[in-house]
Amino acid sequence: MLENNTRTSLESLGEFGLITHLTKNIQLHHSNTLKGVGDDAAVVKHGDNCSVITTDLLLEGIHFDLSFFPLKHLGYKAIVVNLSDVYAMNAIPKQVTVSLGISSKFSLEAIEELYAGMLAACEKYQVDLVGGDTTASKQGLVISVTAIGEAKETDLVYRNGAKEFDLVCVSGDLGGAYTGFQLLEREKRVFASNPEVQPDLDGYDYILERQLKPEARKDIVELLKQLDVKPTSMIDISDGLASELFHLASQSNVGITLFEEKIPIDPMTYNTAREMELDPTLTALSGGEDYELLFTIKQADYEKLKNNPDITIIGHVTDAKEGLHMISKSGNKHALKAQGWKAF
């Protein structure tokens, strides 16, 4: 029982501070619960295999804006963001459950569109939708998805395995989802002030897709297996590169040095960020929702990955007392700050 007679605002804790506070007294009662709270997913052992379980909650007006988010795309994204957590454990997703809170403003046809997107994602990633729940909602649309994956215990990768001198790697490119979101917000404001003006979204397909229809990096997990590379730690980038680096460093009790010039940023992301007077590096560090994989590898595995165009080595792991730093393009050393997305 949590007993506390004082009143503390949730904003003062933040999302991760709240999670830490609420879960610090949890005790695991079963020996086959290998991992509880604190990673991308929980892990439960069954014989030689393990189940990997994760859940995510999406709320209208907090996580998505239906004024510019097509319901089919939203359904697709709701599934994918959960599968990304499973891949971040070096596991393969097998099943999902979907629970919905639906307000009276939605028609049957609208919910069919949402489900069509979910089923499209399940088809692409070969995942079974096996159940869930529906209820009425007074707060708009509520989506809760639970994903269940599978892996051998020896294949699992956690956040806490990074060691000094490991190399820090990231898949794909960063900042596109946040830049796409800012573009949609800009066009929404323009339309609100003058409904006669149609949104100007031509030529921005890549960053819009990064926001509205992200993909989970199943291909990277498969590639690492083909190359016989097992990461020493791994996490997916949902809250921004800086925030995820702090998670890896904290869980592994290490420091990390990041090189700004190595952060992969797509030219469209870079140019659009500049157009909107945003710092492209900051969009990558703190924007979030890229759903790429951030992982560390042993130096001995460098030769296996060095020529792969979809994996970038962006830094290295140091001793914990070194802390987290970024070396700027001008060669200056700056303490890394994790802003990320604030839930409260």
Q: In 10 A of CB 104, how many CB atoms? A: 8
pLDDT at 343: 52
pLDDT digits (tens, 9 = 90+) for 131-183: 999 999 998 999 999 999 999 999 999 999 999 999 999 999 999 999 999 99
284/270 Cα distance (integer angstroms): 10
Q: In 10 A of CB 338, how many CB atoms? A: 18
pLDDT at 13: 66
Report pTM. Answer: 0.92
Is residue 298 within 8 A of residue 241, CB to CB? The reply is no
Return the amino acid letter for 118: M
The SS3 of residue 35 is strand
Is residue 123 within 8 A of residue 88, CB to CB? The reply is no
Spell out where the chain has E strands.
33-35, 42-46, 49-59, 92-102, 128-136, 142-152, 167-171, 233-236, 255-259, 293-297, 311-318, 324-327, 333-335
Please report where in the chains the tokens 């999670």 appear, as a residue: 19
Low-confidence ranges of the chain (pLDDT < 70): 1-5, 12-17, 19, 23, 26, 339-344
Complete domains list, the chain, with CATH: 10-23+31-155 (3.30.1330.10), 167-335 (3.90.650.10)
Beta pairing partners, 290: none
pLDDT at 161: 96
CA angle at 171 for the pair 340 and 185, rounded to the nearest 5°: 40
Please report where in the chains the tokens 């956690």 appear, as a residue: 158
Residues 6+ apart with CB under 8 A from 129: 95, 96, 97, 98, 118, 119, 122
pLDDT at 14: 65
CA angle at 140 for the pair 193 and 54, rounded to the nearest 5°: 115
Contacts 24+ apart (CB under 8 A), 304-311: 304/227, 304/228, 304/229, 305/169, 305/227, 305/229, 308/223, 310/171, 310/172, 310/219, 310/220, 310/223, 311/169, 311/170, 311/171, 311/220, 311/223
| CA-based nearest residue to 39, from 251, 193, 183, 237 | 251
